[in-house]
A and B are shown apart, each in its own frame.
Chain A
């Protein structure tokens, strides 16, 4: 399957949150009790049972209010930190560009949770498995659009082949820039390129997302330096021990000790060192 992409055109989003509902319906995720966070926003972040939500941002400029909306879910990075952090090889990339979790392999350690730049995956306490947006891989690989895309009324979400969507996004950016000079594309330049690409009307930090997310330094240090070095250290220690035993055997130190022990009563050793 060719690489897919979901284009999130926030300039068309009306904040209706139907995407959230469709996601819950298709993925059989129960509703959760929630409260008002800010503006019209009712969800603080993703949870094991809520994989996508809309954040609302009110910005005042020259006495006019800009009402900005941002649909959050897993970005399906090409080079995901969660996958690198996973100690159980439970997270993998599909050819279609999705980042998927194998629930059979997941042990719920939460390493991915701490290392995702957006904090998307969450461990479900009941099953002890990590849960996040699957990108509706089950629908996509059977020729359907993701649930959120299929329900989006204003057409803020569109789905298709990556190249096609990227072109559409760039065309749309040129168009929107005429009225919103700060408009930008968010996703194609970060984390190896994300499968969910955003057209934003303002800088990413206005939407409360990191402008240039990257794999944490601690993650690189951990997986690329400390683990290989630790393996070498243990290997060297093991080799030194084998050599030590061989060297002692060759020098006759083991048989000498046996003799010493046997003769401790009859000849009280007077040689010293």
Chain B
């Protein structure tokens, strides 16, 4: 496809359920990180007062965590595509490695060539895979920590480092995700897409050539002209 004609077009990248799921996940992540930080860092405990103290914060963290798990599972049931993405994110190919290799150049605002990418590029696949593994572990260990009397002591003991270790990992990933989605002048063109579904077609073609060409061929109604 010719990129010259794409300047005034947009492509539909994220469905409503995808966007809602991302929102639920994002809000839950921030709420749970904030309400959990008081336990991770003693110095952060005074901040819990704005929520009504540590007792209230604990309840928000536990119930919020349970609600988030349920909502994410509902999202999975409603949007069958999720499953495919998760499994495809664990299939890391030559093109994905090539993308990741050149990613640091992009990160700091340069341009480096990379092979055509599918709906999610190598970096995003890493993000999805890490998110998926970490969230499963965090949810399970969180449940164990919530009811320590029900589980064997060694399991409770190992749940503490697992819970906070994967949270810290995700906190670093989250910072990166925020930068790329909001602050990075090239990749933040996708920000619009996660709220409204449509992203600039030129951006999509440049970053996800394989996916874009597939959409153009199979679902041309998902590409529209904007004034």
Contacts and interface: CB of A to CB of B under 8 A. Distances in A.
A221 B161 contact: yes
B168 A226 contact: yes
Contacts of B8: 264-265, 268
B186 A253 contact: yes
Contacts, number: 122
A40 interface: no
Contacts of A234: 168, 171-172, 175
Given A114-B157, A244-B108, A269-B7, A237 B175 contact: yes
A111 interface: yes
Contact of A114 (B160, B172, B183): B160
**Interface size range of chain B in the complex:** 35 or more
Interface in B99-145: 107-111
A113 B154 CA distance: 12
A248 B54 CA distance: 41
A37 interface: no
Contact of A226 (B111, B153, B164, B178): B164
A87 B3 contact: no
A238 interface: yes
Given A107-B54, A114-B157, A243-B108, A87 B165 contact: no
A103 interface: no
Given A253-B185, A257-B185, A265-B8, A218 B158 contact: yes
Given A107-B54, A221-B161, A244-B107, A272 B183 contact: no
Interface string B151-167: 00110111011001101
Given A226-B168, A257-B185, A272 B4 contact: yes
Interface stretch (B22-30, B38-46, B63-71, B89-97): B38-46
A234 B170 CA distance: 9
Contacts of A237: 171-173, 175-176
A226 B162 CA distance: 9
Interface in A224-262: 226-227, 229-231, 233-234, 236-238, 240-241, 243-245, 247-248, 250-251, 253-254, 256-257
B-side interface mostly: helix
Given A236-B172, A237-B172, A264-B8, A230 B164 contact: yes
A89 interface: yes
Interface residues of A, number: 48
Nearest to B186: A253
B202 interface: yes
B52 to A, nearest CB: 14
A237 B185 CA distance: 18
B175 A253 contact: no
A230 B169 contact: yes
Nearest to B171: A234
Contact of A88 (B4, B42, B202): B42
Contacts of B107: 240, 244
B58 interface: yes
Nearest to B173: A237
Nearest to A242: B179
A272 B168 contact: no
A226 B42 contact: no
A226 B186 contact: no
B55 interface: yes
Contact of B157 (A216, A229, A256): A216
Given A87-B42, A218-B161, A273-B111, A241 B153 contact: no
A83 B29 CA distance: 29
Interface of A: 85, 87-89, 107, 109-111, 113-115, 119, 128, 216, 218-219, 221-222, 226-227, 229-231, 233-234, 236-238, 240-241, 243-245, 247-248, 250-251, 253-254, 256-257, 264-265, 268-270, 272-273
20 contacts: A88-B45, A107-B38, A109-B39, A114-B157, A216-B157, A218-B158, A222-B160, A222-B164, A226-B161, A229-B168, A230-B167, A234-B172, A237-B176, A247-B108, A248-B109, A251-B110, A253-B186, A257-B185, A264-B8, A272-B206
Given A226-B168, A233-B168, A272-B4, 5 more contacts: A218-B161, A229-B168, A237-B172, A237-B173, A268-B7
